[in-house]
């Protein structure tokens, strides 16, 4: 029952791309376990939004070392251009993939419990000279940024992807402007409001909700 619940929560949703090799996905999202999906879905969502084709595979540097090495060795001839690897704990997936390919490898350290993701961060980022892994932040932000960085790599030569990335930047900037407008309105509304008569309980509440 416990396992069933865990799978329900973490299984790639039915719209996740798990294509066969005859499709032309440019990005592969690799994960050390299906339990990583709830976070790595962030990469898939960003790639969807940027209209970039991708595959998703579970591979493991430790539990399936031969399949992992074979995938990495054949990735270029299968048409992939960027490999995103998310793993937790002793997260050697990105490193072992990078050892077998000259494609850019982006590593996403995940918090698999225990050390809050610091274990995975160190395992992913501390690569020896000669075998780079572009390491992103721990967790969801890292997964999303890996997708955006993959798009930026593709966007060096793909003008359509570059244009979608420009649009993303504009959308983010508009979002910040909107947040700033809201903060300024709240401040103005507070400044214009009549002062509240102090009482012991209301002053405690007021200090808990200090104006911005």
Site residues (vs ligand AIR, CB under 6 A): 32-33, 35-36, 60-63, 87-91, 110, 112
In the complex with ligand AIR, the residue whose CB is nearer, 83 or 154, is 83
The Cα–Cα gap between 156 and 205 comes to 53
- Name which of 64 and 165 has its Cβ closer to ligand AIR: 64
In the complex with ligand AIR, the residue whose CB is nearer, 113 or 211, is 113
Q: What share of the chain is helix, strand, coil (3-state, %, to 5)?
A: 50, 10, 40
Query: Least distance in Å: CB of 22 to ligand AIR?
Result: 28
Nearer to ligand AIR, 67 or 189 (CB): 67
Cβ of residue 59: shortest distance to ligand AIR, in angstroms?
8
In whole angstroms, the minimum distance from the beta carbon of 33 to ligand AIR comes to 3
Nearer to ligand AIR, 117 or 155 (CB): 117
- 86: which residues sit within 8 A by CB, 6+ positions away? 29, 30, 31, 32, 36, 39, 40, 43, 93, 107, 108, 109, 110, 142, 143, 146
Which tokens in the block code for residue 7?
A: 């799978």
CB of 186 to ligand AIR, least distance (A): 41
Q: Contact at 8 Å (CB) between 43 and 106?
A: no
CB 18 to ligand AIR: min, Å: 17
Q: How far is the CB of 53 from ligand AIR (least distance, A)?
A: 24
CA distance 99 to 212: 50
Considering beta carbons, is residue 124 or 145 the nearer one to ligand AIR?
124
Structure tokens at 127: 């690569």
Exposure string for 109-119, b = 16+ CB within 10 A, e = fewer: bbbbeeeebeb
Nearest residue to ligand AIR, by Cβ distance, number only:
32
Q: Which residue has the tokens 């499709």?
A: 23
């Amino acid at each position: 029952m416990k396992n069933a619940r865990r799978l329900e929560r973490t299984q790639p949703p039915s719209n996740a791309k798990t294509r066969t090799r005859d499709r032309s996905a440019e990005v592969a999202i690799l994960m050390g376990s299906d339990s990583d999906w709830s976070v790595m879905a962030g990469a898939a969502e960003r790639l969807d939004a940027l209209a970039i084709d991708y595959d998703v595979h579970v591979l493991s540097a430790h539990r399936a070392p031969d399949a992992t090495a074979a995938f990495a060795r054949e990735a270029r001839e299968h048409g992939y251009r960027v490999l995103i690897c998310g793993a937790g704990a002793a997260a050697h997936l990105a490193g072992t993939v990078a050892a077998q390919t000259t494609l850019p490898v982006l590593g996403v350290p995940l918090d698999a419990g225990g050390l809050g993701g610091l274990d995975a961060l160190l395992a992913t980022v501390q690569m020896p000279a000669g075998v780079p892994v572009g390491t992103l932040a721990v967790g969801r932000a890292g997964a999303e940024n890996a997708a955006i960085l993959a798009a930026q790599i593709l966007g060096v030569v793909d003008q359509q992807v570059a244009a979608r990335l420009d649009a993303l930047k504009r959308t983010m900037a508009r979002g910040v402007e909107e947040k700033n407008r809201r903060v300024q309105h709240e401040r103005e509304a507070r400044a214009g409001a009549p002062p509240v008569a102090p009482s012991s309980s209301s002053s405690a509440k007021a200090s808990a909700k200090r104006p911005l």
